[in-house]
Structure 1
Amino acid sequence: MSVQDYYEKDYYAELGVPKTATSAEIKKTYRKLARELHPDKNPGNKQAEEKFKAASEAYDVLSDNDKRKEYDEARDLIASGAFRGFQGNAPGGGTAGGAGGFDLGDLFRNAGGADGGAGGIGDLFGGLFNRGTAGGSRVRARRGADLETAVTLTFEESMNGTLVPLRITERGTCDTCHGTGARPGTSPHTCPVCHGSGLITRNQGSFAFSEPCQNCSGTGSIIDDPCPTCHGERTVEKTRTLKTRIPAGVSDGTRIKLAGRGEPGLGGGPAGDLYVVVHVRKHRLFGRSGDNLTLTVPVTFPELVQGTTLTVPTLTDAVSLRVPAGTASGRKFRVKGAGVVRKNHTGDLIVTVEVSIPQKLSSEATKALTEFAAATPDDPREAITSAIAAKAGA
C-alpha cells in the first residue's frame, strides 16, 4: 500500500461510524457488518466479499489505539496541505502534487528517534514506503498484515471447546518467479533513474526532498518480461488451511487472536496476527447469560399450587428440581455448577418455571375450573380493587 492509498482510504466511512466513535461503538458496528458481509453468508457475492475485506482492514486500524492515533494524525497532517510531492489529491481538498515532495519517513524520523520513530507515525510511513534504513538497504523489514476469518460453532461445541479447520486466503510470494516479478529465466534490472533506491531526491534551496521514483513506481527495479503468473506483482493470492482449538465456554462474537499466524512479513519482518471471530448457533432449549445457562420450563397451574418435582435437562445429563407448593409463575431456581465450564470458573443453570395456559378446555375441565373459582372466593387484586373504589368515592 502506498502513502497515497493509505490516506485516501476513509476507514471511518468504511465502517459507517463518525471519527468521534468510541472503541466500543467501533467494535459493535464491525461485528454487525462482519456477520452481514461474511463470505460464508454470501457465497459467490464478490461485492459483499470486497466490503467484508474493507471493513476488516478498517477495523484492524481503528480497533488499535496506536494505529488509530497514527492514522488520524497522518490524515490530519496531509489534509492540512503540509506535504507535497505525491500524485493525486489529499483529503480535504489539499493538492498533493508539486515539483518536489517531503520524504515523510525522513520528516518523522527525527521526531521519533534515530530509527524512524519506531512505533510512531514515522515508522508507519516508512513501512508504507519501503524506506531504506541508515545502512542504505532499500527494502526495510515490514510486519505482515493482520488477517481475519470467522467460524460458526454449535452451542455444544462452544460449551465443550473444539478443534476447527481454518481456510485462509492471503497474498504470498509467487512460486513461479519466486518473488522477482520476472518471467523464469529472466530477471529485473536496476532502475536507471533512481539507481535501485526507489527514490528520487530533489534539491530546493537549503532542503533536499525525496519522492518515489516514477520510472519504477518506487521498487528500484524494472521488469522487462513480467511473470505470466503474477504479472510482475511478485505476489499472488494463496489459500492455506490450518487448525486451531477453540476454548471451552467461548461466547458468540468472541474474537480470538492467533499471534504470528497472519500474512507473512516482508524483508524478513515478522508475520501479522490472525483473528478468528466466533459465531455460535442458538440452542433449541438453552439460552446463555454470562457464564450461566438459562432454561424455561412450562408447568401446570396445579403443579404450582400443590408443588411438584420436575426433571430438567442440563448439557450433560438431567437433574431433579423441587418446586414448593404456592410457587408463583416466573420464579427462578438455580442449579449450581450446571452452567458454562471454564478453566477457573463454572456457571450455574437458571431454571424459570412458567405456567402453561391451555388454549382449549373440555366441558369437564371447564366445570372443574368453575367449581374451583367458586371455592376460592378470595380476590387476588384486593389492593387494586380498594384503590379503584377509593377514587370512585372521592
Structure 2
Amino acid sequence: MPKDPYAALGLTKTASADEIKKAYRRIARTDHPDLNPDDPLSEARFKDAGRAYDLLKDPDQRRRFDAGEIDASGAEKAPRGYYRDEARRPENPYAQGRAGGNPFNDAFDPDDFFASFGRNRGGGFNRSGFGDRPGEDTQYRLSVPFLDAATGTKTRITLPEGGTLEVAIPEGARDGQILRLRGKGAPGFGAGRRGDAFITLDVTPHPDFERDGDDIVVTLPITIDEAILGGKVPVRTVSGTVNVSVPAGASSGQVLRLKGRGVKGRTGKGDQRVILRIVSPPRIDAALKQFMEGWRADHPYDPRAGKEPV
C-alpha cells in the first residue's frame, strides 16, 4: 500500500497547493537518485514524494482522496455499504429467489436471465452469443519525467491484466495531457472493433527546470566576478548544456533569454528564461574583505535610493 501522500511530503491535510508543490520540489532537490547514488532510502523518499505529488496536485483527485473515494494509489474505493446494498437491489438476480440469494431456484427462467443480461450489457446478446459490438475504452495514468515530456520519447506501460502497451510521448507533452491510442482498448464482441486507450500524463516536476507555457525557466548561480566582469557561463537546457553570455555589471534577478530553447508548442518552440542569482564565495578571506572595504570607501552607491522601504 503506498504511503499516505501527506506524510510522504511531510505535510498535513490542511496544506495549500503551493505548500504541496514546494514540499515536493524540496524533496526532489535533496533526495533525487542522481544526487544520492546507491542510497536506497533517499530513492524511496523521492519515489514516495513523487507518487504523493502526482495524487495531490490534481484538486479533484485530492478532494476524492480526502473524501475516502480513492486510496493513496489513486484506485477507486467502493462506498461504504456498497456490496451490501448491491446484493439487496431488487433488480439484482442474486438478491432474489431462495434464502441465501440463489437465483437458480424453481422459478428461475434462463431465457429471462440471458435476455436481461443482454439488455444490461447494451443489447445484442442471445443464447447463441453476442452480436457485433465495439470494445470498451480503457483509461490509464502514466508518470513521465519532466525531460522526457519536454523532448519526447517512447515508453511502455504494464497493463493490469498483463502485457504491455507502447506509448509515444510527443515532444512538449503537458501535465494532464490525454493521449488517445485508437484500437488499443478492450476487444470488441463478434466483428466489433477494439475500444480506444486513453492515457493521462502526469509530468513529474524537475528540481532545476520549471515550465511556464512553452518557456523553460531556470535559475543560474553566478559568482561576484562573473557579475562584475561578465563572461561565458554554462547553463543547462532541456536539450543539453550551452554557454550563455552574462553581461558585465549583471544583477541578481536579471533575466537572460535563450531563443528557441524552450519546449515545442503549437506555434513553434518557446524560449528559455535564465534568471541570474549572484552567490557570494563560501568563505570571505582577508584579501577580498580588504579589497571590498577599500572599493566601498572610494565608490559609494546606494541601489535602494529612491525606493520606499517595505
In the alignment, does 2:60 pair up with 1:29?
yes
Residues 17-46 of structure 1: CA deviation (Å, up to 9, x unaligned): xxxxxxxxxx74238979xx9xxxxxxxxx
Structure 1 residues 256 and 128: CA distance shift in structure 2, 3 A: farther
Give the whole-Å Cα distance in 1 for the aligned partners of 2:123 and 2:172. 47
| Root-mean-square deviation (Å) | 4.3
In the alignment, does 2:158 pair up with 1:167?
yes
Pairing partner for 2:254 from 313, 331, 355: 331
Q: How far did residue 339 of structure 1 move?
A: 1.7
Give the whole-Å Cα distance in 2 for the aligned partners of 1:246 and 1:272. 20
Give the whole-Å Cα distance in 1 for the aligned partners of 2:280 and 2:209. 22
Task: Count residues in correspondence.
Answer: 222
In the alignment, does 2:245 pair up with 1:254?
no
Pairing partner for 2:264 from 341, 353, 360: 341
Give the whole-Å Cα distance in 2 for the aligned partners of 1:132 and 1:312. 61
1:271 aligned residue: 194
Name the SS for the 1:257 alignment partner. Answer: strand
Structure 1 residues 85 and 254: CA distance shift in structure 2, 3 A: closer
AA at the equivalent of 1:129 = N
Q: Please report the TM-score for the alignment, with normalisation by the length of structure 2.
A: 0.56
Pairing partner for 2:164 from 223, 238, 241: 241
Name the SS for the 2:76 alignment partner. Answer: helix
Give the whole-Å Cα distance in 2 for the aligned partners of 1:126 and 1:328. 73
Give the whole-Å Cα distance in 2 for the aligned partners of 1:166 and 1:265. 22
2:143 aligned residue: 152
Contact 1:127–1:140 (8 Å) recurs in 2: no
Larger radius of gyration: 1
Name the SS for the 2:195 alignment partner. Answer: coil
AA at the equivalent of 2:163 = R
Structure 1 residues 380 and 253: CA distance shift in structure 2, 3 A: same
Residues 204-230 of structure 1: CA deviation (Å, up to 9, x unaligned): xxxxxxxxxxxxxxxxxxxxxxxxxxx
Contact 1:143–1:265 (8 Å) recurs in 2: yes
Residues 128-178 of structure 1: CA deviation (Å, up to 9, x unaligned): 613657x999855554333223333333332332222222234xxxxxxxx
Q: Please report the TM-score for the alignment, with normalisation by the length of structure 1.
A: 0.45
AA at the equivalent of 1:146 = D
Contact 1:132–1:138 (8 Å) recurs in 2: no
Residues 65-108 of structure 1: CA deviation (Å, up to 9, x unaligned): xxxxxxxxxxxxxxxxxxx866899xxxxxxxxxxxxxxxxxxx
Give the whole-Å Cα distance in 1 for the aligned partners of 2:297 and 2:118. 85
Give the whole-Å Cα distance in 1 for the aligned partners of 2:76 and 2:189. 22
Residue ranges of structure 2 left out of the alignment (5+ in a row) = 1-57, 79-89, 96-115
Please give the residue correspondences for 1:89-108 in structure 2 after superposition, counting only pairs within 5 Å. none
Structure 1 residues 366 and 48: CA distance shift in structure 2, 3 A: same
Structure 1 residues 266 and 31: CA distance shift in structure 2, 3 A: farther
Give the whole-Å Cα distance in 1 for the aligned partners of 2:71 and 2:306. 59
Contact 2:208–2:218 (8 Å) recurs in 1: yes
Give the whole-Å Cα distance in 2 for the aligned partners of 1:271 and 1:353. 53
Q: How far did residue 332 of structure 1 move?
A: 0.8
Contact 1:293–1:350 (8 Å) recurs in 2: yes
2:235 aligned residue: 312
Give the whole-Å Cα distance in 2 for the aligned partners of 1:384 and 1:87. 78
Pairing partner for 1:280 from 194, 200, 203: 203
Contact 1:337–1:349 (8 Å) recurs in 2: yes
Give the whole-Å Cα distance in 2 for the aligned partners of 1:85 and 1:153. 44
AA at the equivalent of 2:120 = F
Give the whole-Å Cα distance in 2 for the aligned partners of 1:139 and 1:161. 41
Residue ranges of structure 1 left out of the alignment (5+ in a row) = 1-26, 38-46, 58-83, 90-124, 171-238, 389-394
Q: How far did residue 52 of structure 1 move?
A: 3.7
Q: How far did residue 352 of structure 1 move?
A: 0.9
1:119 aligned residue: none
